[in-house]
Amino acid sequence: MTSTPAKNPQIHLVSRPTGEALAANFKLIDADLPELQDGQVLVRHHFMSLDPYMRGRMNDAKSYAVPQPLNAVMQGGTVGEVVASKNAHYAVGDKVVGFGGWQQYSIVDGNTPGLLRKVDTTHVPLSAYLGAVGMPGVTAWYGLTQIIKPKAGNTVVVSAASGAVGSAVGQLAKARGCRAVGIAGGIDKCRYVVDELGFDACIDYKAHTDAKSLHEALRDATPDGVDGAFENVGGPVLDAVLARMNAFGRIALCGMISGYDGEPIPIKQPQLILMSRLTITGFIVSEHMEIWPEALKELGTMVATGKLKYRESVAQGLAAAPEAFLGLLKGRNFGKQIVKLV
């Protein structure tokens, strides 16, 4: 056990967006760090995670999670190192995954199950536990294996394909003998998805700004139609995918990032759900904790053996988090967006 630092820089949500989220919604606070109590663990965060779902929580509206409270630390996943412990289960130097929020340190009750998880960084880098071997990876695993349930030879399409979730979806699909087709924004991301991640094809939606052009590009990339779709975006991309779905296709609806700001984006041709007898399932991976061990085992093994590749966009320092988060919402990240804190 080491001495407790006196200060804990943190970022609060101080106002809710009325349309687009803005940097002014956040404020950097130099909070005091209280004394560690019996049973508690002090974690110094090395990396924190920025994820699209956080945008939904910024609204004070019906969502899949309770809203992020105002004038409180922004919540989110973190990885770090135990720097002080008054709990027999945790020792200084332990590497841990938690939900510490946008701050340099967190004080965690080590006796409450699920708050902290010790991880092994021998073969898997610490930051990967926020991405490929963390919530985004498990999200990919759940949607693919539990909703899309692809068979070898199926075609699986995933949007935001170079991102933390999408890149895992395609590689997990390839490992199951599927044709994996990505949709991403920009030629660099598309090249990465095909050349480095091993997808069979990737469509640059920014090069297809009208619905007809996007549809034709997707048609060319999916000559046998689409059996499963993993949807991270919504809007025109989802419309294009719907039109290419084969009978009895499955769509795992994981995100609608294009609709988080301002007005929702409609599904233009819902009759396709009926005509193609599709199943669309929305899901939140944190509600399916029972599958995490199996998912993390496959994801961890694949990362350790180089079969699951990923890329990170790393923002430097806590103060950079708001801009990095706003950039993520606009697709400016390339791979998993994290913030480096040490």
Residues that bind its own copies in the complex, under the rule CB under 8 A: 56, 62-64, 234, 238, 247, 253-256, 259, 264-271, 273-284, 287
Q: How far apart are the first and last CA of the chain?
A: 19
What tokens appear for 339 in the block? Answer: 């913030």
**Distance in Å, CB of 159 to its own copies, minimum:** 13
- Please, which residue, 264 or 317, has the CB nearer to its own copies? 264
The answer to whether the beta carbons of residues 158 and 300 sit under 8 Å apart is no
Q: How far is CA 278 from CA 83, 110, 216, 231, in A?
A: 51, 45, 21, 14
- Please, which residue, 204 or 239, has the CB nearer to its own copies? 239
- Please, which residue, 30 or 290, has the CB nearer to its own copies? 290
**Distance in Å, CB of 234 to its own copies, minimum:** 6
Q: How far is CA 9 from CA 61, 102, 155, 165, 283, in A?
A: 28, 9, 47, 29, 33
- Please, which residue, 36 or 267, has the CB nearer to its own copies? 267
**Distance in Å, CB of 268 to its own copies, minimum:** 5
Angle at 80 between CA 74 and CA 83, to 5 degrees: 110
**Distance in Å, CB of 324 to its own copies, minimum:** 23
**Distance in Å, CB of 63 to its own copies, minimum:** 5
- Please, which residue, 218 or 256, has the CB nearer to its own copies? 256
The answer to whether the beta carbons of residues 183 and 160 sit under 8 Å apart is yes
**Distance in Å, CB of 56 to its own copies, minimum:** 8
* Distance of alpha carbon 166 from alpha carbon 290, whole angstroms: 22
- Please, which residue, 15 or 276, has the CB nearer to its own copies? 276
H or E, element range at 238: helix 236-244
- Please, which residue, 238 or 338, has the CB nearer to its own copies? 238
**Distance in Å, CB of 269 to its own copies, minimum:** 5
- Please, which residue, 62 or 212, has the CB nearer to its own copies? 62
The region, left, alpha or beta by phi > 0 then psi within -120 to 50, assigned to residue 203 is beta
**Distance in Å, CB of 102 to its own copies, minimum:** 23
Q: How far is CA 188 from CA 100, 332, 334, in A?
A: 33, 12, 9
**Distance in Å, CB of 16 to its own copies, minimum:** 17
Q: Say what the alpha-carbon torsion angle 142, 145, 146, 147 is, to the nearest 10 degrees.
A: 100
The answer to whether the beta carbons of residues 319 and 28 sit under 8 Å apart is yes
Angle at 64 between CA 144 and CA 292, to 5 degrees: 40
The answer to whether the beta carbons of residues 101 and 39 sit under 8 Å apart is no
- Please, which residue, 129 or 292, has the CB nearer to its own copies? 292
**Nearest-CA neighbor of 228 among 216, 208, 245?**
245
